[in-house]
Amino acid sequence: MSNKKPVYKRVLLKLSGEALLGQQEHGIDVELCASFATQIKEVCSLGVEVALVVGGGNIFRGHVESKRFGLDRSVADYMGMLATVLNGLALQNALEQLNVPTRVMTAIQMAAIAEPYIRRRAIRHLEKGRVVIFVAGTGNPYFTTDTAAALRAKEIDADVILKATKVDGIYSADPLKDKSAKKFQTLKFIDVLKKNLRVMDSTAISLCMENDLPIVVFNLLERGNIKRAVLGEKIGTTVHQ
């Protein structure tokens, strides 16, 4: 594997907030965060430009909590966006402890802790070898971080979205609940929408489909999978046009 070359020049890695939970019920698993940072550093060492979009579900999930607590949906979504900022700062800290230069860019201005998102500046950071962490989603309620990932990936001209999950690809049903669930090696965007496969929300899938932006879905918890995905090895499920 050491002799292989990356098949992508610039990638956007989508991490769910739940991925940072580890064995905890709530919050951020610091050791797991450090493990992710080590894997990202390995990818950067290959010369690949890496951007991240991180969710906030380990702290606060807007559309769920709005129903649970009777919060206005917009308010709940903004709270969820702020949760992604916490995760982004945790990842930045873990990466910088490994001497990986990073920039956190936020869709909601908070100058004391992060840069405002500016497309050209983000691209310039990537060109200089910095890992760019996009937080606060799109900056608008009613949009998920999946949609933010698709939007940012296209804006920075990423070659692919690497969607890191707790399972090793896309299945016909939840493999944790249905033992007969079938795993797909490849899928077309339109089939994801028709089959209502909830790997990403329909807005994100439609955006990727319209712009021919492939998605690789794989198990983040298996160490080394980020590097394998970048090297083009057949892991997980690939969604394409």
Q: Is the dihedral of CA 168, 232, 225, 19 positive or negative?
A: negative
pLDDT reported for residue 66: 67
- Average pLDDT rounded to a whole number, residues 189-210: 92
Which has the higher per-residue pLDDT, 110 or 3? 110
What's the token pair of residue 192?
A: 């994801």
Supply the DSSP symbol for 79. H
What's the token pair of residue 19?
A: 């991925």
10-15 and 115-116 beta bridge pairing: unpaired
User: What span, in angstroms and rounded, lies between the C-alpha atoms of 104 and 53?
Assistant: 10
Domain boundaries, the chain: 10-240
Predicted confidence (pLDDT) at residue 160 exceeds the cutoff of 50? yes
What's the token pair of residue 58?
A: 């380990």
User: What span, in angstroms and rounded, lies between the C-alpha atoms of 227 and 42?
Assistant: 7
- Average pLDDT rounded to a whole number, residues 11-26: 87
Predicted confidence (pLDDT) at residue 237 exceeds the cutoff of 70? yes
What's the token pair of residue 111?
A: 């100058």
User: What span, in angstroms and rounded, lies between the C-alpha atoms of 50 and 41?
Assistant: 9
Q: Nearest-5° angle of CA 36, CA 37, CA 41? A: 120
Which of these CATH numbers, 3.40.47.10, 3.30.1490.20, 3.40.190.10, 3.40.1160.10, describes 10-240? Answer: 3.40.1160.10
**Phi-psi label, residue 178: left if phi above 0, alpha if psi -120 to 50, beta otherwise:** beta
Band the pLDDT of 63: cuts 50, 70, 90: low
Band the pLDDT of 175: cuts 50, 70, 90: confident
The three-state secondary structure class of 32 is helix
Can you count the helices (H) and strands (E) in the chain? Answer: 8, 11
Predicted confidence (pLDDT) at residue 127 exceeds the cutoff of 60? yes
Predicted confidence (pLDDT) at residue 1 exceeds the cutoff of 50? no
| Cα-Cα end-to-end distance for the chain | 28
Predicted confidence (pLDDT) at residue 62 exceeds the cutoff of 80? no
